[in-house]
Amino acid sequence: MKQCRRVLAVLVSTGLVAAVLSGCGAGGGDKRQIIRIGHNQATDHPTNIALMAFEEYIEEKLGDKYNVEVYPSELLGSQTDMVQLTQTGAIDFCVASNSILETFSQNYTLFNLPYLFASAEAYHKSMDDPEIVEPIFESTKQAGFEAVTWIDAGTRNFYTVSTQIEAPADLKGLKIRVQQSPTNVEMMSLLGGSATPMGFGDVYTALQSKVIDGAENNEMALTSNGHGDVCKYYSYDMHQMIPDILIGNCAFLDELPEEEREIFEEGFLLVNSVEREEWVKAVEAAKEKAQNEQGVTFLYPDTKPFQEICEPMHVDMLAKYPDLSPIYDKIQEYNAEYPSEAE
Ligand code: GCU
């Protein structure tokens, strides 16, 4: 797998991937159009399970016309590579973290704010509300892609090789991997750690070789990506609920005949619902495995001190992007309706 990933990464970086992709897939007399979807999770991850359900659904309804191919595990490169491939239409869809989409449209900054959502319920209600997501999901149309649905990626928390993070002061001097977005780098600096941005696929080796002291992610990173083999403390500071976003190439989507577009839209809803159902089970299983098989200790610090340090980021973002204010306010309404359980 690693070898394959490396080869594809080289192809991506040399721009050859489009040529290779157009040459592989259904051969012989198969006239079906190939729809390629890339993502960076393993095959047993909820994201892959949901995309396999999408593949099955589209092929059941439109199988004479389309052949859907799902490429997991960064086979088509890092998320940033895949977004670029989707932009140009070299592939049709990919899953990208909301974090990295911030570098393609400033509107995505909003969902990257630490402590934006008061609870999982407020997060889900917000992400299911078209008034909130549409202005963001459509903001990259001019860049050639748009978001077609969101995918739950739980809550992001700090985890380290050997330091127990009970308060922000414990992060001081630690090199923590963050996703490649200005918001994440700023958050990390405010909290006192040293932000080390890198792609997801490089984190395991960086932890193992002690280039970094820890990272931050949901529980699945411990098991599905093996980070729990190296990191022994996972601390629920609950700093972000960052969705993953399924994005599609605009030209592909716009050219779909109306009846087919409707079927694709149903498929996108299916991705969302299957993933959310699988997510709940997967996180529970990941926690159990991390604790019992990998020897990870879960810590439950007071989240307030972390939250207070990050608060100025909300004010700064609204001052910088005032257009996002009405959406931010709408999220606050959900926060009031579904407050944090800790309160
Ligand atoms: C999660 C998220 C991915 C993201 C990764 C990361 O796994 O679901 O989309 O790439 O975190 O931290 O990079």
Taking only the tens place, the pLDDT of each residue in 60-106 is: 999 999 999 999 999 999 999 999 999 999 999 999 999 999 999 99
C-alpha distances out from residue 333 to 71, 153, 242, 268, 283, Å: 38, 22, 19, 27, 28
pLDDT exceeds 60 at position 218: yes
Whether this prediction's pTM lies above 0.75 is answered by yes
Longest dimension (CA), the chain: 63
DSSP, collapsed to helix, strand or coil, labels residue 284 as: helix
How far apart are the CA of 200 and the centre of ligand 1, in A? 6
Which residues are near ligand 1 (CB < 6 Å)?
A: 40, 79, 97, 153, 179, 200, 217, 221, 244
pLDDT exceeds 50 at position 49: yes
Angstrom distance (rounded) from CA 9 to CA 13: 6
Which atom, in ligand 1's list, is nearest to the CA of 216? 12
Angstrom distance (rounded) from CA 268 to CA 7: 30
Angstrom distance (rounded) from CA 209 to CA 149: 36
Given this model, what pLDDT does residue 30 score? Answer: 87
Given this model, what pLDDT does residue 10 score? Answer: 45
Which atom, in ligand 1's list, is nearest to the CA of 199? 13
Q: Whose CA is nearest to atom 6 of ligand 1?
A: 200
Given this model, what pLDDT does residue 21 score? Answer: 58
Which atom, in ligand 1's list, is nearest to the CA of 220? 7
The mean of the pLDDT values for the chain is: 94
Given this model, what pLDDT does residue 24 score? Answer: 47
Choose between 162 and 29: higher pLDDT. Answer: 162
Angstrom distance (rounded) from CA 86 to CA 218: 26
pLDDT digits (tens, 9 = 90+) for 113-166: 999 999 999 999 999 999 999 999 999 999 999 999 999 999 999 999 999 999
Closest CA to 202 of 228, 222, 177: 177
Given this model, what pLDDT does residue 22 score? Answer: 52
Most ligand 1 atoms within 8 A of CB, residue of 180, 244, 246, 276 to mutate: 244
